[in-house]
Structure 1
């Protein structure tokens, strides 16, 4: 009987792992396509993209990078806390709070940039910039809400899945930051 129960748990874990990796790779592929589109268009509009990048604030984006790295740290601590439920809840709430802080800073940044979006001097730069960063921002908002829900009733398997996706979204930002803001 114990073997059957262990077998069912292994099957459930494997299914969860498969779903998690499908989700991870689909996120990476989607953002990979967006990054390739950005790079391709930048080859056809180099002056416009160079001018567009000058309109961005690498300092604000750099600060937001630190916020997301800190959120990845608290997400890892939430997984590590495991059975210490109260501690896990605190780390999940901290991760969500940092994520929402990222959103607030990004919205302030958008406020400074939105007026430039329709200017033809920037070519397609701002359309792609808002598409890529907006899609990323939607992921951060959604996952922060998921983490808040998990903080109320954490289950280790759900915490592992949500924080893994959180790390992927953070990793995507770490690629996005130099692509959009530097050089």
Structure 2
């Protein structure tokens, strides 16, 4: 026999209309779509420059660490699993479980940043800097992505504060945090494919 968490307002089933709406709210989706448009435009610019200097870009790509890239991809995909599970937990009236899952997602984000910082240091120490056309794109794309990840960690902090508030625990706020976090993960998957895998 298991002991359930204390009953909260989350124990009440959502109204039927809630099942037909997008998770989060419109403002967050506008922000996410705006970021996707920005990154999409930058990817197009990258592809144009890559097409003009294909041999140089391909040669420079070989100096990236595929092992670190794959590890970071797995770390962020794992974080997406944690944050998705947190949304399900809060919807089922388990805010403490949701809080632990949000912490786990945030820990994955910190691991990603540490690995990326190590990779940046490695590339710079080998002489691959903004003076190289490929690496100028690499550092800008990954740098902006890490900045988004740091903002994502701050948003997860807000989510944790909400989950700890007995009078709050709004599933919609957790969904907003999860929506932004999933966007960060999606962007990394595309960055990984474009910078590390495309030959």
**Fold equivalence (TM over 0.5):** yes
Q: Are 2:128 and 1:116 equivalent residues in the alignment?
A: yes
More helix by share: 1
Alignment of 1:5-84 (within 5 A): 17-82=25-90, 83-84=93-94
Match of 1:153, SS? helix
Q: Are 2:186 and 1:171 equivalent residues in the alignment?
A: yes
Q: How many residues align?
A: 169
Structure 1 unaligned spans of 5+? 1-9
CA deviation profile, 1:93-149 (whole Å, cap 9, x unmatched) = 111110111000000010111231145xx4x11111111111011111110122123
TM-score of the superposed pair, with normalisation by structure 2? 0.79
Q: Give, in angstroms, the shift of residue 153 of structure 1.
A: 2.5
Q: Bigger shift: 141-150 or 75-84? A: 141-150
Distance 1:21 1:108 in 2: 32
CA deviation profile, 1:36-86 (whole Å, cap 9, x unmatched) = 111111011112211210110111000000000000000001100112111
Distance 1:33 1:118 in 2: 20
Distance 2:130 2:182 in 1: 33
- What's 1:157 paired with? 172
Distance 1:153 1:167 in 2: 19
**Aligned equivalent of 1:102, options 112, 125, 139:** 112
Structure 2 unaligned spans of 5+? 1-17, 164-169
Distance 1:19 1:152 in 2: 20
Structure 1 residue ranges, 4+ long, deviating more than 2 angstroms after superposition: 152-155
Aligned CA RMSD, in angstroms, stands at: 1.8
Indicate if the aligned counterparts of 1:143 and 1:166 stay in contact, CA closer than 8 A.
Answer: yes
